Amino acid sequence: MKRNKLIVQLLAAVLFLSSCEKDFMTVNRVDAFIPSDQFYTNYNYAQQAVWNVYSYLPNGLSSLNYEAITDNAEATNVTDLSNVFNQGVWNQYVNPDDVWSKNFNAIRAANLYLENKDKADIEYIKNRIVTSDSTPYFNARNNVKFMEGEVLFLKAYFYLELIKRYGGVPVLREAFEYKSEDWKNVPRNTLDECVKYIVELCDAASAIIPQNLSSYSWYDVGRVTYGAIKTLKAKALLYAASPLFKGAGTTATWEDAAIACNDVIALNAYTLDANYNNVFGANALSSKEMIFFRQYGNNNSVEYANFPISFQGSNGNSVTPTQNLVDQFEVLIKDGSGAITGSRPFSWSNADDAANPYANRDPRLNNTVILNNTSFSGAVIETFDGGAAGFPKLNATKTGYYLKKWVNPSVNLVTNTSAVHTWAYFRYGQLLLDYAEAAFNAYGADGKPSGASLTALQALNLVRARSTMPALSSSQLNQASIEHERNVEMAYEDQRLWDVRRWKKGNTYFNQPVNRIKITKTGTGFTYQVNKLEDRRFDPKMDWYPIPQDEIVKTGWTQNSGW
């Protein structure tokens, strides 16, 4: 195997640093023509090798258009990759979301580091110390130790990215070139073996990274934490317990997933942010809800793409919410004094709803979607037909809505101002809903694992209460209400695409038309009509991505069913 010498090309991104240092997007390319056995002896190069492994993590904000592969959204740009999926014309030859090579290259980078982790020489730091303070040496010694835990976590993360798309993939415990001749002899492991390996990696990582990092002030904000490791393990087990994975032979249970989620809850390290918007805005970094995240620093690409087209500078690449998503947000029931007494599903058959469809809705609707005749960035947005941001204006929303979540209204496109952005890979609200689903399926609405503090019902109601939504009762909690809550809470967070697949409900949600709202201005008021925007296609075989065909030819593996 070609591992003895290599040309090391590092994307030495100093990841996840605080705002006073380099941000996540700062990249310094280093070309080092050094044998690998010498490269990793250099402590600084070894650190950069770890940063390089981080650089393979998904770029969440640049992939918001993936929400348009679900029933939640529609891409305004007709050339957007989502159209390939929605028309059902993707396959083992053409797959816009083919992350196979990227993640196996990431796994190789992780394995290279793990094979050479003990070579880092930090004795020179000790030799430079001329006082009684040996803190720099001890910090470096701990950093070398922690970097192993970080890379084990990252390797597990990359494997989850692979298996949620392709099912079972090769488990690689050592590094070799992904494109080498040796690849043709690599067996494809079962999905169950892959899940168990992810759990193994997470357990190894959590034995290295301390639960409490407060005494390690040099450990940069945003690096892998104990809580992040435990959350990744819980997420993998949630997937493994779900219908799609169970049908492919996984042995993990809902009990396993619930216990793993509870392990994170029991840390008492995270809480729901009192303000839902904080998790998606410029202050996200300081939120106790964030578990694992990516810092972008000052940036405005999301705003240029998603500001309503009525703003000068908006580039028309918006990913707009569909009527399907908007209809998911409940209507609040209030008494004569305005106090909330309950909630009910929104219905166009209800005369009050049809006449005033945005009144008294779940507050998360207004947090997620820019609605007609509401204020955004100092302007009233007109998405009605003939309005400044509506049809038939070029590059206007096709759905009658624009995206608000992740979009910072303080950005000025004309003067090119920007704002800090932070993408949440894992957040506590998501973890609570993962726990609610697993615990409900394992123990029912009011049961819980031994020693746990929350039932499934209590966990889900905590998430609802943060947004002033009334609590559900035990009889109201079921799989349908769990699916509903996950969608309204986590739209545009890269959850829907995988949730629907693991539930094996693509035909229910993705093989149906998506709708738009036609809004007509009548004097000072508006009338509303739901129209079909487009048909979508989803076949059962699409629950799993096809293995790239060149891999099938090279290895002789059996292609995923139906492809």
User: Which residues contact residue 182 at a Cβ distance below 8 angstroms, ignoring those fewer than 6 apart?
Assistant: 1, 176
Residue 480 is encoded by which pair of tokens? Answer: 């349908």
Q: How far apart are CA 210 and CA 224, in angstroms?
A: 10
Count the Cβ atoms, other than its own, within 10 Å of residue 404.
Answer: 23
Among the listed residues 265, 554, 226, the one whose alpha carbon sits nearest the alpha carbon of residue 435: 265
DSSP 283: T
Query: Residue 216 region, left (φ>0) first, then alpha (ψ -120 to 50), else beta?
Result: beta
List pLDDT tens digits, range 500-547: 999 999 999 999 999 999 999 999 999 999 999 999 999 999 999 999
pLDDT for residue 33 = 63
CB 31 within 8 A of CB 9: yes
Q: How far apart are CA 306 and CA 316, in angstroms?
A: 7
CB 299 within 8 A of CB 278: no
CB 434 within 8 A of CB 426: no
Q: How far apart are CA 428 and CA 271, in angstroms?
A: 6
Among the listed residues 426, 420, 387, 381, the one whose alpha carbon sits nearest the alpha carbon of residue 404: 381
175 vs 144, more confident = 144
Give the max Cα distance, the chain. Answer: 81
pLDDT at position 7 over 80: no
The phi, psi pair for 420, rounded to 5°, reads: -70, 135
pLDDT at position 21 over 90: no
CB 470 within 8 A of CB 463: no
pLDDT at position 22 over 90: no
pLDDT for residue 175 = 86
User: Which residues contact residue 209 at a Cβ distance below 8 angstroms, ignoring those fewer than 6 apart?
Assistant: 146, 149, 150, 153, 224, 225, 226, 229
User: Which residues contact residue 356 at a Cβ distance below 8 angstroms, ignoring those fewer than 6 apart?
Assistant: none
Q: Using CB atoms within 10 A of its CB, is residue 388 exposed (0-12), middle (13-18) or buried (19+)? A: middle
Where residue 229 falls among pLDDT bands split at 50, 70, 90? very high
**Taking residues 425-454, what's their average pLDDT?**
98
12 vs 473, more confident = 473
List pLDDT tens digits, range 293-302: 999 989 999 9
Q: How far apart are CA 88 and CA 86, in angstroms?
A: 5
* Mean per-residue pLDDT of the chain: 92
Report H helices in 55-182.
82-86, 100-116, 123-128, 135-166
Q: How far apart are CA 71 and CA 323, in angstroms?
A: 9
pLDDT at position 128 over 90: no
Instruction: Tally the residues of the chain.
Output: 563
3-state secondary structure of 530: strand
Q: Using CB atoms within 10 A of its CB, is residue 14 exposed (0-12), middle (13-18) or buried (19+)? A: middle
Q: How far apart are CA 289 and CA 28, in angstroms?
A: 31
Q: How far apart are CA 520 and CA 514, in angstroms?
A: 20
3-state secondary structure of 558: coil
Question: How many H-runs (helices) and E-runs (strands) does the chain carry?
Answer: 20, 14
Where residue 183 falls among pLDDT bands split at 50, 70, 90? confident
Residue 195 is encoded by which pair of tokens? Answer: 């899940």
DSSP 76: S
3-state secondary structure of 562: coil
pLDDT at position 35 over 90: no
Q: How far apart are CA 519 and CA 528, in angstroms?
A: 5
182 vs 376, more confident = 376
Q: How far apart are CA 256 and CA 241, in angstroms?
A: 8
* Residue 321 to residues 76, 313, 318, 357, Cα–Cα distance (Å): 10, 21, 10, 15
Residue 274 is encoded by which pair of tokens? Answer: 């009192």
pLDDT for residue 131 = 86
Sign for the pseudo-dihedral over CA of 49, 53, 54, 58: positive
DSSP 43: H
DSSP 329: S
Percent of all residues in the chain with a pLDDT value above 90, rounded to a whole number: 88
Strand 8-11 with 29-32, pairing? antiparallel
414 vs 175, more confident = 414
Percent of all residues in the chain with a pLDDT value above 70, rounded to a whole number: 94
- The lowest-confidence range among 179-193, 286-300, 402-416 is 179-193
**Taking residues 267-285, what's their average pLDDT?**
96
Count the Cβ atoms, other than its own, within 10 Å of residue 81.
Answer: 18
Q: How far apart are CA 362 and CA 333, in angstroms?
A: 10
pLDDT for residue 185 = 87
Q: How far apart are CA 561 and CA 299, in angstroms?
A: 42
Among the listed residues 370, 389, 280, 386, the one whose alpha carbon sits nearest the alpha carbon of residue 325: 370
List pLDDT tens digits, range 313-343: 999 999 999 999 999 999 999 999 999 999 9
